[in-house]
Structure 1
Amino acid sequence: MTLSVTHTEAIAPPGRALLPLWVGAGVYALLLVAGNRLLNDPDTLWQITVGQWIIDHRAVPTVDVYSFTMRGAPWISTQWLAQVAYAAAYGLAGWSGPVVLAAAAIALGFALFARALRRHLRDSTTLLFVVAAFLLCLPHLLARPHVLAFPILVAWIAGLIRAADRKEAPPAALALLIALWANLHGGFVFGLFFIAPAALDALVNAEAAARRGLALRWAMFAALALAASCCTPYGWNALLAAQKILSLGQALPLIVEWKATDFQGFGPFEICLLLAIGFALVHGLELPAVRILMLLGLLHLALAQARAAELLALVGPLVIAAPLARQFGTAPLPAAGARASLASVVMVALGAGTLASLSILDYAPNMRGTPVAAVTELKKLNLTRVLNDYDFGGYLISTGVAPFIDGRTELYGETFFVDHNAASGLMEPDNLFRLLKDYDIEATLLRTQSAATRLLDHVDGWQKVYSDGIATIHLRKPGARRTAEPAVAIDGN
C-alpha cells in the first residue's frame, strides 16, 4: 500500500473541497440514525438531572444535594454548562434533544478534524484518519459532557500545532476556547498541559536568535490560557477538581472507562495500532523528536486508560500531519468556488433530515441494565438509607431517590469507593457488614447476580422482598431468618 499526500489537481472540484462538511454531515447522519446508542450510559440520567437543578435554581452546586452518604459535602460540577445544555435540550425535545445535541457536537468535532488534516494531507489520507479516529472514539461516543467538548479539543490542539509548525506563538484569541472548555468538561486540563510540548516543538525548530522572544510569547500565552481556564463559576477550583479526580488512586482502575486498554479481544484499537506500526516500518516514517514524544505520550495515555483512546485518535493525527506532508511531499490545496452555496444546501438538507427523523425515530435510554421495576418497588417502602450498586446511582438520582453511591466518584473519594466495591463483590466480606452497620442501611438494591446479593439471601435479619433479572431488594428485618444455608464447596465441587 502506498500513501500519497500529493495533490495533483490544479483546482479541486467544489464537492471535494467540501470534504470536512461531507465528513461532518456523514457522522451526524450516522449518529442520528443510531441515536439510541448515544443514550447507552446511565450517567446521562444524572447529568440531565443536575443540569435541570442548575436551571431551576439559577446557580451551580457547591455541595452534594443528592446522596444520603455525602449530603452537604463540598462538591462542584465542572461540567455545569454541558449539563445545562443537555437539560435544556431534553426539556425542549425529550430524548431527541440530547441525541441531536451530542450528534451535532461530535459531527462538528470530526469536521474540524478533517479540516485541520486537509491543510496538509490528501483527501484519501484524511478520510483514512477520520475513519480510524471514529472507530477508536466509538465506545465513548455517548450523550455526556465530554462529547460537547470534542470541537473545542480539536480546534485547540490544531491551533497549538499550527502555531508550532509556523514557529510562532498561538494567537491570544485561542485562549477563549479553553475558557469555554473549562465550563463544559474537566478535560480542559489536558489542553493546558499540551501547551508545553507544543511550545517546545516550536522552540526546537525556531532560529536560535528568535528562541528567547518566542519562549516569552509562549509563556505569556500559557499564562493567559491558565487565567482563561479559571473563568468559571468556581474560579480556580475547577483545576483543583480535575486534580481530585486524577488522585483517586486505586479507585480509577475499578471504573470501566479508566481501566487499562484490554487486548484480549481483537478490536479497533489493536487493528489501528498494528496498521500504523506496519506503515511506519514499510515507509520509513520519520518524525521530529518532539513530535515522537507527543505521540508516545498519547499512546501511553491510551494504553493506561481506555477512555484516552479518543485523545490518541483525534490528537495523534494532528501531531504528525505536517511531518507526513514534508516527508512525502504535498502542496496546499487551491481554493475552490461555490463553497458557500453547497454548504448551505447541505446544512438545509441536514436540518430537514433531522426534523424528518425525529418524527420517525423513537429515542430512549437503554433500560436493559437499569433497575426500573426494582426502584418502583423500593419507593413503595419509603426508605431513605439504601445501599445501592454503583451503576444504579445515576438512575436513582434521576428518580429522586438518594443513592449510597453514584458516578460522581470524585465526591466519594478513593477509600469510600474501594470499600463499596470490595463489599459488593465480597472481595472483603467484612466490608459489606461494616457498611451496613456504619451507615444504618435499611435496605439494599444490588445486582441480582452480585456476590453480596447471594450472601444476603442467607443472612439472618435480611429479607428478600423483590428480585428480577436485574436487581434484588433486601430489607433489614430483625425477625427474618435465612431461608437456606449458603452453598459450601467441598473438594472443588
Structure 2
Amino acid sequence: MGESPISVRAALESARFPLPTGTADLPAGVARDSAEANRLANFLRTVFSFPAMLGAFLVAAVFVVGRGFNVDPDVWWHTKAGQIILSTRHWPTTDPFSFTAGGQPWIDCEWLGDILFAPVARWAGLQGLDALLIILGSAIMVALYAYATLRAKDSKAGFVASAVLLVLTSASFSLRPQMLGYLFLILTLIILERFRQGKVRSLWFLPPLFLVWVNAHGSWIIGLGVVFVYWASGLLEFRLGGLEAKRWTPQDRRSLSMAFLLSLCAIPITPYGPQIAAYPFEVAFKMPIGVGNVSEWQSMPFNLPGGKLFLGLILAFLVLQVIYRFTWRLEELALFLFGTMMACLHLRFLLLFVPFSTPILATILARWVPPYSRSKDRYLLNAVLMLAVTVGIVRFFPSRAELEKGVSENFPVRAVEYMHEHSVRGPIFNTYNFGTYLLWSDYKVFIDGRSDIYERVGAFSDYLFIDRLKPGALGVLQSYGVRACLLQRDEPLATMLAALPGWQKVYADNLSVLFVKRNSAASSDAQPGQVAPGQKK
C-alpha cells in the first residue's frame, strides 16, 4: 500500500477543503488511504484548533510565571523524604530529620508526591524541578480552562475567565504535592460536570482518582465534600428566585451514590492504612499554633494587590448578579460561597476559590463573547503560533546557573557550604524557613516546614518563644544543648547573639549569619568573623 499523497499542510487546511468521505466506489487500497487521510486531518484539526491554541497561550503564561522558580521551602523536605522512601523501600513512621522530634511518630501523608520529586531532582536537578513545576502549573490551568469551557460551552469565554484567574492562581504555584491536589480537584469537577451533562460513565474515574489523591495530598477531603455537595443538591427540585435545584433521576442518584461510596472505600488504601485519613482533621482541629503562625494559614491580605483583585472579583460578581439576575445552580452557589469563605479565612485556600468561581465567570462572559466557529478556524496560523510558544519555552528556559542563583538568594546555600567545610556540628538552632534546606544538606534541624510534628512535641512553641525573645529565651535555647545557630541576618535573635560574649559570629552574608558557642565543640576549625566576599561583618 502506497503512502497517502495528502500532506500535513493539506490536512491542516482540510477544514476549508473537506476530503471526500464516500469510499464505496474506490479501490480498497485507495479507500484505506483516504480514510487514513481523513483521520489524520481530523487529528490535526483538533491539535491545531483555535481552542488548543488558547490552551498553549495559558501554558506560555504559566511558563512566564514559573520560569523564575520561586522555590517553596518545603520542596527540600518533600524531595528528601522521597529519596528516603525510594532508597529504603519503606515509608517512614518516625521523624528522620530533626533532633527536637527525632524518633517521634510521623507519617509522610504526601509520600506519592514526594517520590515524584525525588527522581526528578536526582536526574535533572533544579532545572528538572522547575520543569516539573511548570508542567504541573500548566496542567492545572489547562484543566481549569477545559472545565470553564465545558460549563460555558464557549472556549473563548473559558479562556478569558481562566486568564483572569491565572493572576490569583499563579501566586499559589509552588512545587509541593498540593499542586497534585489542586489538579485532582479540578478533574473531579470536570467528571461531575460531565456526569450532569449525561455522561454517566465518567463517574467511574472517581474511585481510582481518590485512591491516588489520598496518597498525594490531604485535599482529598475537599474533593469528597464536592462530590457530596453534588449528590445532596440533586435530592430536591425547586426554584427560589435566582437559585434552582434539579432532582437526580433514580438511576443517576444510584450511580453517584455508588461512585461516592467506592471513592470513600479508597481512602484507607495507603501504606499507613486509615491513619492518613485523620491528617486533615488533625491540622484543622489540633494544630492551633501552626495555623496561627504559618504565613499560608493567615487570612486574606486585602491590602496587597492579590487581595485587592480577589475582593474586586467578589464585588464584580455581586454587581453583575444585581444587574443581570443570573440563575445559580444550588451546588455551584454552595461551592462558590465555600471557596470564598475559605480564601478569606486562609490564604492557602485561594486555589479553592479559583476552580469554584472560574466556570461561573466563564458562563457570565459567554453572554458577550462570540462563540468559537470551527468554519472560521485558521489551522496553519494556529500551528505556527503554538510552535512559537514551544520554541520560546525551550529558548528561554532558565539555565542551571540562573536557578542556583535564585536558590542562593533565598536559602543559606553558602552558609551551609561553610558549615560543611569547617565541620560545624550541632545541635543547631535554625530559622524556620532555613530548616528544610538544612535537612536537605543532611543536618539535623531544630524545626522545618512540617509544623504539625513540632507542635505535637512542643518544639514549635519553644521555637516561637526563642524567636520572639521572650523572657527566658536563652534558657530555653540552652535546654536543647544548642551549640550553633543559623539565622537570618537581620532577625532579632541574631542581633542579640552578636552582642553576647558567649557566642561568636563565624560566617555572614546578605541573607544569613552563623553563630557558634564559644569554648564548645560546635566547630573543629571554624574561624570567627569570616564573611562572604564583599559582605560586611
Partner of 2:504, secondary structure, is strand
More off after superposition, 197-206 vs 124-133: 197-206
- Cα distance in 2 for partners of 1:359, 1:377 equals 27
Selected match of 1:474 from 515, 519, 526: 515
Cα deviation digits, residues 353-381 of structure 1 (max 9, x gap): 65555586753443213222222333424
TM-score (normalizing by structure 1):
0.82
Selected match of 1:132 from 153, 161, 164: 164
Partner of 1:429, secondary structure, is coil
Name the residue aligned to 2:14: none
| Structure 2 contact 78–114 (Cα < 8 Å) conserved | yes
Name the residue aligned to 1:250: 289
Aligned positions of 1:481-492 closer than 5 A? none
Partner of 1:475, secondary structure, is strand
Partner of 1:172, secondary structure, is helix
Count of residues in correspondence between the two structures: 465
Selected match of 1:363 from 403, 408, 429: 403
Cα distance change on mapping 1:278 and 1:90 into 2, 3 Å: same
Identity %: 23
Selected match of 2:82 from 51, 67, 75: 51
Selected match of 1:375 from 383, 408, 416: 416
Name the residue aligned to 2:438: 396
| Structure 1 contact 119–332 (Cα < 8 Å) conserved | no
- Cα distance in 1 for partners of 2:378, 2:232 equals 37
Aligned positions of 1:72-471 closer than 5 A? 72-121=103-152, 122-164=154-196, 171-205=203-237, 216-247=254-285, 248-267=287-306, 268-318=309-359, 356-357=395-396, 362-364=402-404, 365-379=406-420, 380-413=422-455, 415-426=458-469, 428-430=470-472, 432-471=473-512
More off after superposition, 267-276 vs 339-348: 339-348
Name the residue aligned to 2:69: 38
| Structure 2 contact 177–217 (Cα < 8 Å) conserved | yes
Residue identity matched to 1:416: A
Q: Kindly state the Cα deviation for residue 474 of structure 1 after the two structures are TM-superposed.
A: 2.5
| Structure 1 contact 24–108 (Cα < 8 Å) conserved | no
| Structure 2 contact 148–162 (Cα < 8 Å) conserved | no
Q: Kindly state the Cα deviation for residue 66 of structure 1 after the two structures are TM-superposed.
A: 1.2
Partner of 1:119, secondary structure, is helix
| Structure 1 contact 63–75 (Cα < 8 Å) conserved | yes
Cα deviation digits, residues 141-167 of structure 1 (max 9, x gap): 122222234432211122224435659
| Structure 1 contact 168–214 (Cα < 8 Å) conserved | yes
- Cα distance in 2 for partners of 1:102, 1:184 equals 16
Q: Kindly state the Cα deviation for residue 123 of structure 1 after the two structures are TM-superposed.
A: 3.2
Cα deviation digits, residues 108-156 of structure 1 (max 9, x gap): 2222222222124233321221012211111111222222344322111
Partner of 1:473, secondary structure, is strand
Q: Kindly state the Cα deviation for residue 416 of structure 1 after the two structures are TM-superposed.
A: 3.0
Name the residue aligned to 2:93: 62
Residue identity matched to 1:241: Y
- Cα distance in 1 for partners of 2:202, 2:284 equals 28
- Cα distance in 2 for partners of 1:166, 1:23 equals 27
Q: Kindly state the Cα deviation for residue 346 of structure 1 after the two structures are TM-superposed.
A: 8.6
Cα RMSD of the aligned pairs, angstroms, is: 3.7
More off after superposition, 26-35 vs 120-129: 26-35
- Cα distance in 1 for partners of 2:311, 2:279 equals 33
Cα distance change on mapping 1:319 and 1:164 into 2, 3 Å: farther
Q: Kindly state the Cα deviation for residue 243 of structure 1 after the two structures are TM-superposed.
A: 2.3
Name the residue aligned to 1:489: none
Residue identity matched to 1:83: D
- Cα distance in 1 for partners of 2:91, 2:383 equals 38
- Cα distance in 1 for partners of 2:163, 2:132 equals 21
- Cα distance in 2 for partners of 1:335, 1:178 equals 36
- Cα distance in 1 for partners of 2:136, 2:264 equals 24
Q: Kindly state the Cα deviation for residue 306 of structure 1 after the two structures are TM-superposed.
A: 0.7
- Cα distance in 2 for partners of 1:255, 1:209 equals 43
1:27 has 2:58 as partner: yes
Q: Kindly state the Cα deviation for residue 342 of structure 1 after the two structures are TM-superposed.
A: 10
| Structure 2 contact 155–371 (Cα < 8 Å) conserved | no
- Cα distance in 2 for partners of 1:338, 1:184 equals 40
- Cα distance in 1 for partners of 2:176, 2:61 equals 18
- Cα distance in 1 for partners of 2:57, 2:91 equals 36
More off after superposition, 171-180 vs 256-265: 171-180
- Cα distance in 2 for partners of 1:329, 1:273 equals 20
Q: Kindly state the Cα deviation for residue 288 of structure 1 after the two structures are TM-superposed.
A: 3.5
| Structure 1 contact 164–202 (Cα < 8 Å) conserved | no
- Cα distance in 2 for partners of 1:353, 1:450 equals 41
More off after superposition, 203-212 vs 121-130: 203-212
Cα distance change on mapping 1:109 and 1:340 into 2, 3 Å: farther
Residue identity matched to 1:89: V
| Structure 1 contact 251–418 (Cα < 8 Å) conserved | no
| Structure 1 contact 112–151 (Cα < 8 Å) conserved | yes
Residue identity matched to 2:185: L
Partner of 1:132, secondary structure, is helix
Partner of 2:407, secondary structure, is coil
- Between Structure 1 and Structure 2, whose CA radius of gyration is higher? 2
List alignment gaps of at least 5 residues for structure 1: 1-12, 480-493
| Structure 1 contact 23–111 (Cα < 8 Å) conserved | no
TM-score (normalizing by structure 2):
0.76
Residue identity matched to 1:262: P
- Cα distance in 1 for partners of 2:310, 2:506 equals 44
Cα distance change on mapping 1:17 and 1:471 into 2, 3 Å: closer
Residue identity matched to 2:228: A
| Structure 1 contact 14–339 (Cα < 8 Å) conserved | no
Partner of 1:204, secondary structure, is coil
- Cα distance in 1 for partners of 2:507, 2:403 equals 29
Q: Kindly state the Cα deviation for residue 392 of structure 1 after the two structures are TM-superposed.
A: 0.3
List alignment gaps of at least 5 residues for structure 2: 1-43, 239-244, 521-537
Cα distance change on mapping 1:208 and 1:135 into 2, 3 Å: closer
| Structure 2 contact 101–454 (Cα < 8 Å) conserved | yes
